[in-house]
Structure 1
């Protein structure tokens, strides 16, 4: 594919792959050999799983070849060491994936979409449903005309798959954005969408067949006035270029205003990163048995009474011990 594109177009070609399935490293190498102009990698301590192949591995692979990067592997290791410590602060955001995941070869879920799915399921205390959701995604995608799994449609397909699994019935609940795809609001799909689902959301209406944006009415002025009014009521200071904040609310109507209210308060949206990963709580030891014991310390004997739970409730001196071995006294 790379070589054919390069033959037909005079354009710089860049390849972006996630390492989720274990195929990205091979894809990058073959693309480089075919003449790709650039590839995306990540420093090793932040690489693989949901991210990109490791930079150092590719640098070492290409060393001494016509594609030698010229990068210093020792300097890269210093960078990796730095981010290895940084990553510990964000352990709470780590996903479930620890290695390669062959399920993605079937579900075709991109890395960013996969982390979003895990987050949704975790919030619903349904992390154990991930396999079911991954199996549902290809079916939802087919119903939606095999729409490409790129933002934002990847999130729409994923969210609908989660709804189908958690409600126990396919399309018992149809997300607004899913309905939008079925209505044609996101443009033409590669193949026709599921006819029954489309009829259900259209409710007798007609699908959009023109450029969807042509149907929108100018609303920026009205939206800007509304945002300024709410900002004044809530004491929110808008950005110097207020249109940026207006567009934030327009694009994210459910959380846009909350973001503006807490622009400098990230704790309002997510937990603060911790310095170290949470350590498991040590299991409590079994309480010591109660009883009375004679204990010798430096040649002196003491009678020790131990209560239930291991607390020492009485300590008195005893007759000097005749032997150095501790002797258990009879219980009262």
Structure 2
């Protein structure tokens, strides 16, 4: 009766079905101990959850794709593959002859049984080289702009659990995956963690934690970092690689303490830059790294990590650095991370292993190389039958790689290999992190700089030196990237930036870096550039969040419930604390379009084809059969009716045709050479307007804020005067040099 009531649909009128469902699920009713006062004593029987109506919402999503094109913007014209990947079979249990249900014990069993300290000790005592597989996170962040969906990760996870049970860890969370999941994949990052944990109970999960930045791009109050780590451990996370983009020790220690309190394994990381094998480079020498390692060990790290985010750790430098660290800290496990941008990643990791590193990072072969990690198969084969043998079967790596080779084809629209066809040794000069490379390309594409990407890379070197030669990893790498693209967009070189610093409307990230919002960079800030950029803007001394008030999670939850209804979880509250507007947009998207994460990837990205029949499993035992029948003509309201067959029944949705319904409108451009005619420095979206018509403004005052692909820029007044007319509105999309507003200058 319950099942039939749940599946019964009557549309157009209210029914008593929600009441009956509450009765049929009530514990007292199910016990059979009820009387005529049952309804009077249980008024909550009349509190109904709104219908999820998931099928209709999914039709809305598919209709949008049919009429207006992909809802996740593509960065290239490579189409997603229509061939679904083949999942390799799980091993057969010898006794039963059936697929083995439980995977073999792994390092997570040791961690759960003995705790983080004993776990680290056994890792150090282990004979042979241990591997972390980055395929589930950093590999696709580096090659595919972090766009791989939980849908495809879930399918291969059980195979990895059975065949690679002896991995040190699987990296599958943190870094950019958190916000990208909500922004572009329209899925909850916490649900990804939960779903993968169900399928991989034996291998430790590892994530990237940006110290006091948690998984964001700015510093948060300490209680947000502590709450995040606590929920992460409760939802299945084990090992936290904690780093700070500037190697600013106070920020790293906040993350370490939060992880320790939550019960996770602390893997404190040093962000590597420069070249310790080059004696002429004195800033980041061997002493710099060993001194920092001493501080992290003293602060209580379980594992020490070298995070070579750009792949600039050469084999000789690797041998020097790891030998020095091993001699200094013989009892601490050492874990090394790199990228293979220059093509020397395998050689560097082998050098690290031979010098005493316990764990190195690899990605499965078909997701390795270029800006990703070194090849798993190459490392496994290189140390086979030696004292560093990983214990991993190359045949299993091959099958695993085959799945990912097919899966990668699904994400063709996000391939960095459209422009990056081979290893690039110029990374030793520009030091662009592997995880940033594709995002930097997409950002350049968004800003209209796709043809000038080589110029962006050159300016990246200059921007780094302008900022003081800093370690480059999120969010400091974003600062350098924003500055580089700003210089290309505005045709500026280093000397021009230094000369005109007071008058430039620099990206928000650059200004906040100089204000001290990321912490203090090694060697301090470059002067007089800092003073010229900041003028009388406030500066932060010491740890940036020391003065921030704790976040009120109860208040956030109340606000979310008011906006999005009662189905708000603790993880939603935390997501909102980290990314308020992104979380709002995600929750609204899910309410409008339903569980789009249940669609296969080709369908999710490109939508269905006419007359194509697809099966969608929205939950266990509930499958939707959907077929597109027709797309109607444009009506007087600018809409098209899209007709579907849903489980044999005719359904239709009305979709606004965004292109056809737009009025032809040419936005005026700013007048060149006219001081009060303020144009947009880049294409993007107006996200905030700080002035209104008739308002008096001073030179340098903020006028409005523009955003494009996570890059925000404040446009400042070029002169003092009266705002004559604001020519844009909030949320308006604009092109470069579009007129933003006009100011009547006041004579100086």
Residue 362 of structure 2: SS of its match in structure 1? Answer: coil
Deviations 1:73-94 (A, max 9, x none): 1221111111111111111110
**CA spacing shift, 1:13–1:3, aligned 2, 3 Å:** same
Alignment of 1:76-115 (within 5 A): 76-95=397-416, 96-115=419-438
Q: Which residue of 1 aligns with 2:469?
A: 146
| TM-score, with structure 2 as normaliser | 0.34
Alignment of 1:42-57 (within 5 A): 42-57=363-378
1:257 pairs, out of 584, 595, 603, with 584
Q: Distance in 1 between matches of 2:526 and 2:348?
A: 34
| Cα offset, 1:44, TM superposition | 0.8
Alignment of 1:119-158 (within 5 A): 119-158=442-481
Q: Which residue of 1 aligns with 2:357?
A: 36
| Cα offset, 1:117, TM superposition | 0.4
Q: Distance in 2 between matches of 1:34 and 1:20?
A: 22
Q: Distance in 1 between matches of 2:512 and 2:540?
A: 10
Contact 2:564/2:587 (<8 A) preserved:
no
| Cα offset, 1:254, TM superposition | 4.1
**Does 2:355 match 1:23?**
no
Q: Distance in 1 between matches of 2:530 and 2:583?
A: 30
Q: Distance in 2 between matches of 1:261 and 1:16?
A: 37
Deviations 1:12-36 (A, max 9, x none): 1111111111121110111111111
Alignment of 1:262-301 (within 5 A): 262-263=589-590, 264-265=595-596, 272-273=604-605
| Cα offset, 1:209, TM superposition | 2.0
Residue 392 of structure 2: SS of its match in structure 1? Answer: coil
**CA spacing shift, 1:73–1:230, aligned 2, 3 Å:** closer
Deviations 1:234-263 (A, max 9, x none): 447322x2xx32332332244232123235
Of 141-150 and 114-123, deviating more is 141-150
| Cα offset, 1:127, TM superposition | 1.3
Which structure has more strand as a fraction of its residues? 2
| Cα offset, 1:56, TM superposition | 0.9
Q: Distance in 1 between matches of 2:568 and 2:446?
A: 31
Contact 2:557/2:568 (<8 A) preserved:
no
Contact 1:90/1:274 (<8 A) preserved:
no
1:2 pairs, out of 305, 314, 322, with 322
Q: Which residue of 2 aligns with 1:327?
A: none
Q: Distance in 1 between matches of 2:458 and 2:353?
A: 33
Deviations 1:202-222 (A, max 9, x none): 33255322222122234x12x
Deviations 1:263-319 (A, max 9, x none): 54469xx993469xxxxxxxxxxxxxxxxxxxxxxxxxxxxxxxxxxxxxxxxxxxx
**CA spacing shift, 1:260–1:224, aligned 2, 3 Å:** farther
Of 141-150 and 256-265, deviating more is 256-265
Q: Distance in 1 between matches of 2:349 and 2:556?
A: 48
Q: Distance in 1 between matches of 2:436 and 2:446?
A: 15
Q: Distance in 1 between matches of 2:382 and 2:606?
A: 35
**CA spacing shift, 1:205–1:81, aligned 2, 3 Å:** closer
Q: Distance in 2 between matches of 1:271 and 1:2?
A: 47
Q: Which residue of 1 aligns with 2:509?
A: 177
| Cα offset, 1:196, TM superposition | 3.9
Structure 2 gaps of 5+ residues are: 1-320, 608-748
Q: Distance in 2 between matches of 1:203 and 1:103?
A: 36
Of 230-239 and 249-258, deviating more is 230-239
Q: Distance in 1 between matches of 2:542 and 2:529?
A: 20
Residue 39 of structure 1: SS of its match in structure 2? Answer: strand
Residue 212 of structure 1: SS of its match in structure 2? Answer: coil
**CA spacing shift, 1:204–1:141, aligned 2, 3 Å:** same
**Does 2:246 match 1:246?**
no
Q: Distance in 1 between matches of 2:407 and 2:377?
A: 18
Q: Which residue of 1 aligns with 2:486?
A: 163
**Does 2:534 match 1:202?**
yes
**CA spacing shift, 1:236–1:21, aligned 2, 3 Å:** farther
Contact 1:89/1:274 (<8 A) preserved:
no
Q: Which residue of 2 aligns with 1:12?
A: 333
Q: Distance in 1 between matches of 2:325 and 2:566?
A: 50
- Number of aligned residues: 268
Q: Distance in 2 between matches of 1:60 and 1:117?
A: 33
Contact 1:92/1:273 (<8 A) preserved:
no
Deviations 1:130-174 (A, max 9, x none): 111111112222222222111211122112211221122346331
Contact 2:441/2:453 (<8 A) preserved:
yes
Residue 199 of structure 1: SS of its match in structure 2? Answer: helix
Contact 1:142/1:193 (<8 A) preserved:
no
| Cα offset, 1:64, TM superposition | 2.5
**CA spacing shift, 1:32–1:144, aligned 2, 3 Å:** same
Greater relative contact order, per chain length (Cα 8 Å cut-off, separation 6+) = 2
**CA spacing shift, 1:210–1:73, aligned 2, 3 Å:** closer
